[in-house]
Structure 1
Amino acid sequence: MRKAIRCLFVASFVAAAAALGTGAAGAAITAPKLPAVQSISPAPDQVVGIAAPVTVQFAAAVTDRAQAERTIDVRAENSLAGHFTWLDDRQLMWQPANYLPTRSPITVLAGNRHIKFETNGGTTADADMSNHTFTVWINGVARTMPASMGKPGRETPVGTFPVLSRERSVTFDSRTIGIPLSSPEGYLITGEFAERLTWGGVYVHSAPWSVDSQGNANVSHGCINLAPADAEWYYDNVSLGDPVTTHW
């Protein structure tokens, strides 16, 4: 009789666990369902530079970021190495660990969506803050221009940055970097032929006001200043995702 009662108890427990799917312990570790992928950039068939990041936007806030990252694969012939940065609770950015292959199709798989974009021939730029020059290579041909970078205390950050946007004109407001307009250092000006390098506000752009310093001294608040004609030429020849390397 005791054996029959014990068997009945075990059978009931198994049935209850089956009804719950994976049992109490399994239910506690079931990953939440991810929101749908709303968009992916670059856009399908877009041609971009070899340092282009990939941004995935979800339809709602993501609570399990690690799970979301595991659903994303960026590949040429094989998966490409990179790292993730969350721009906010819905936007995830993947940046390549090395340059993307040139003139190649790149496939992005994100959730149940996928897109394919192309890379260009590998246009790159080099900002030498010691020699006050900005050199651009297109198909192996270099063009070197005089430039002025960030002055002492407002130095241009060192590193390699992809061009994040191209803006025919942009308003530069010193208040966005903590300098009041009433300060002797304050400014509110319109820049032209601008390429954003960081979300913190570092650009390459036309700066007619600093032409006399370009090639000789660093006088900007962190941006890379070029003469108007040089800035327009770069604007016409640069693609989103082209890398700019800054160094001393």
Structure 2
Amino acid sequence: MDIKEAVFWLLDFAGYKRTESYSTDLTLKHSVKKIAPEKNNIKFVLPQQSENNNFLYSYLQSKRKISKKCIDFFVDKNLIYESKGYHNIVFKGKDENGITRFASMRGVFDKNGYVFKCDVKGNDKNYGFNFVNDKSDELEVFEGAIDLLSYCDIYDDYKTNKLALGMIADAPLETFLKENQNIRIIRLCLDNDGPGRVASSVLKDKYESRGYKVIDLPPPKEYKDYNDWIKSLRSKKTITMEKYR
């Protein structure tokens, strides 16, 4: 992170509410240049895996309203797991050869607005949490991993390619498209807040100019993101719906 990102991350972690004005200038920090992997000779080592995924299932099902079927899918694909010790959820981003290049962690013990989130040291931010199906030419793009899971659950969609950027910058998207040249359709499933809407506009123009069919597909306007949407659907005890997309 640069200094500004680091300060904001620490403020968020400490539970402070912050306000930042977002310019309508359609630029993204990493929209062109690739992000250099973390330096200082930090070796990328995945956190040790817990003996089971009990805390992972409990958090995603009770707090995030993700179904066991959806969680099972990603656990079975070895894309998420629970770390030993702190019991964080680890989300893995693999390259075209199935080698994990990126990993982020998300705590399961949220309390009074305190949230633990961070990337594993030494990761390559040109990758993001992803699911690859080389038989599909469609790709859905999200800001966060839990929104990606929420989308899969809402639409019962475990066939199309999916990518969580972990930010509103497209270095991971550039890498994914380079490594998966079968992609023809991109759905931008970014948040309904200011940064998400600006990023969607920028990315839509950028990738349409490259010949992709790009669809802006945020959740319904009354929800900030896909996880907000699925929590609302589950509270109403209904998840069956026509394809919004």
TM (norm. structure 2) is 0.23
Higher strand share goes to which structure? 1
Largest Rg, 1 or 2: 1
TM (norm. structure 1) is 0.23
